[in-house]
Structure 1
Amino acid sequence: MPFYQMLCITAHYNEYRPIKELVQRTVQQVWDRGGVVRRLNSWGTKTLPQRMRRHKQYHQIGDYWTMDFDASPRTLRTLNNLMRADPSVVRWTVLKLGDKVENIVTPPSKTTPR
């Protein structure tokens, strides 16, 4: 299965619950279709580079988070549909990092100490 990284910007809320629920649904989508979530990372709340409009609302502040995962291309289409429909998602992008995790991770160098 290919290895992907998704960066997501969600609308900022005073409470963290909507973002937590979105992350749980996203992870569940990957798991239900046989994928593996390798890492979740929160980048915190940041001011957006420019005012963004999504679902007929303007946003100036967003919560950034990333997810590294292995999934099939069919699962990726399902994730894109989930992100497109969710009103709390401002922007997202998915990058294909490689065909296998082994191709991404560099093995430790075998140098001799001096």
Structure 2
Amino acid sequence: MPLYELSLTLRTLSRPELIASLRRSAETILQQGGVLRQFVSLGTNPLPFKMKAHNIWHREGTYFVMKFDAPSSAIENLNDEFKRDIDLIRSHVVRCEEPVKQECTLEEEMKPPAYRKDVQQLIEEGQKVIRHKFKQNTPGFDFYPFQK
């Protein structure tokens, strides 16, 4: 199952209502066969612009980020459920890519830049001179037939 990140923007609620709304969101993920990995609260902040959700204008919201594993077929159902929840202003699901593992050694990093392999490759590429040769488009004769 791929890893997804869900960003939620909830309207300003009292603490018990906020907990109930988050519990509904988490249970929706679990019902679709997902597994919660991480849950982060980013606090209550003013929204970047006025947002209208469920016929109410909002100026302030509470932000949360959830990381979860779920089958890719469940994402459409999750988005549909989140659109129906009246406590949610916005929700956005993004698939997280696994970071590229780079092998790095301290010995290589301690060398001056001019002696590192990747810098030497960049220097070699910069020294290559690309010269475009002008080619006259002639019909194959040894002379130019349109010249007097």
TM-score normalised to the size of structure 2? 0.65
* 1:63 aligned residue: 62
Percent sequence identity is 26
* 1:80 CA displacement: 0.8
Taking CA–CA contacts closer than 8 Å with sequence separation of 6 or more, which of the two structures ends up with the larger relative contact order?
1
RMSD over aligned Cα atoms: 1.8
Gaps of 5+ in 2: 111-148
* 1:111 aligned residue: 105
* 1:18 CA displacement: 2.3
* 1:108 CA displacement: 8.7
* Structure with greater Cα Rg: 2
Q: Which runs of 4+ in 1 moved over 3 A?
A: 105-114
* 1:35 aligned residue: 34
Distance 1:33 1:91 in 2: 20
Superposed CA deviations along residues 56-91 of structure 1, whole A, max 9, x for unmatched, are 000000000000000012221221112100111111
67-76 or 52-61, larger mean C-alpha shift = 67-76
Count of aligned positions: 108
* 1:92 aligned residue: 91
SS of the residue 1:87 aligns to = coil
47-56 or 74-83, larger mean C-alpha shift = 74-83
SS of the residue 2:21 aligns to = helix
SS of the residue 2:76 aligns to = helix
